[in-house]
Amino acid sequence: MHLDSSVLPYLALLIAVVIFVQGGYLLISGLNGGRDKEVSRRLRGLGTPQRDAPDDPLRRKSLSAGKSPWLTSILESVSLRSFDRFISTSGIRMTTERVLFLMIVASAATFELLDIFGQYDLLICAAGGFIGAIVFPLWLISRIRRRRLAQVTAQMPDAMDMLVRSMRAGHPVATGVGLVAQEMQPPIGIEFADAFDEMSYGSDLRQALEKMAQRLGIEEINYMVAAIRIQSSTGGNLAEVLNSLSNIMREKKKLRARVKALSAEARFSGIILSVLPVFAVVILTLSNPHYYDIAQTHNNLKIILGGAAALMVIGVLLIRKFVNIRI
């Protein structure tokens, strides 16, 4: 049976589309929700996690688990370990290996789609595949991660109050951590549950909390860990220190909300200035489709337009830097 060579590009396109759709579905279905629901269901139960469950989020394997030595050296690199921490703190249920695989497959599929349907140059197809299948998913996961960490920050004062009440009732700090893991809603309940499970597996309180602080990188948790570390070495009333930290966190939250309200006009002006050039290009293209045709044959004009686009991106980043004040 002879297969016509003209059918091969369409067959490759069909396979690329199927892989791209499947990868997009797996990526979207795994974002933020499945992990929290599973842990919430487990915490509402008897408090005895099923350690043998294959999808137990508290048993997340390392990148190099069960891999060959040469692959272990690659997966244990600093960049991939940072990416693994980035994925784990975003709340995504999928493993880091699957996310990397889907991004690579989606990049190849996007490149193939642009090459076959768009008939673009090789450089444009490569840039489209990189932006559409790598930059955009990373941006999306980054937004989900920031939203999740913001929720953890907002829940920290209540978690501290619960910890203080547990200590004033005569319970040790480890028991208070377990109480926060059981009573608090995700995502902070999940993070404290991870720390409590690490203590159950043999880590002491300081090690478990320091690991949580390194994983999340939130200042409020760093303050709590520092207070516990100082109290364990020098002594003192830890409940009062944590209560003061809780009050400071609430005041900081109020101040951040006030600054956000006062800078709302500047942030809105930044959005308008960022969108205006793109809007002008779209209007010119719709009103006169051949307005930029000369750019395809004029090399100097290509350089000028590319420099203008680069300056616009730099301007957008500077505006975001000026109006997004961190406290």
pLDDT tens per residue, the chain (327 residues)?
A: 444 545 555 565 666 666 666 555 555 554 444 445 554 555 454 444 433 333 444 445 555 554 545 455 555 555 677 787 888 888 887 777 788 888 888 887 887 777 777 666 777 777 777 887 788 888 888 889 889 998 998 999 999 999 999 988 888 888 888 899 888 888 898 889 988 888 888 888 888 888 888 888 888 888 888 888 888 777 778 888 889 989 998 998 888 888 888 878 877 887 888 788 888 888 888 888 777 777 777 778 778 877 888 888 888 788 777 766 555
Query: Do 227 and 242 contact (CB within 8 A), yes or no?
Result: yes
User: Alpha carbon of 290 to those of 106, 124, 282, 286: distances in Å?
Assistant: 32, 20, 12, 9
Shortest CA distance to 122 belongs to which of 113, 136, 130, 111? Answer: 111
Q: Which of 5, 6, 20, 4 is nearest to 112 (CA)?
A: 20
Distance of CA 194 to the CA centre of its chain: 18
Measure the CA–CA gap between 43 and 190, rounded to whole angstroms. Answer: 9
Interior CA angle at 142 toward 137 and 147, to 5°? 130
- What the block records as the tokens of 188 is 């902070």
d(CA 30, CA 144): 12
Say which residues have a Cβ less than 8 Å from residue 19's Cβ, sequence separation at least 6: 105, 106, 109
- What is the per-residue pLDDT for 53? 38
Residues 112-129: b if buried by 16+ CB within 10 A, e if exposed: bbbbeeeeeeeeebbebb
Asked if residues 210 and 225 have their Cβ atoms less than 8 Å apart, the reply is yes
Contact 190, 35 (CB under 8 A): yes
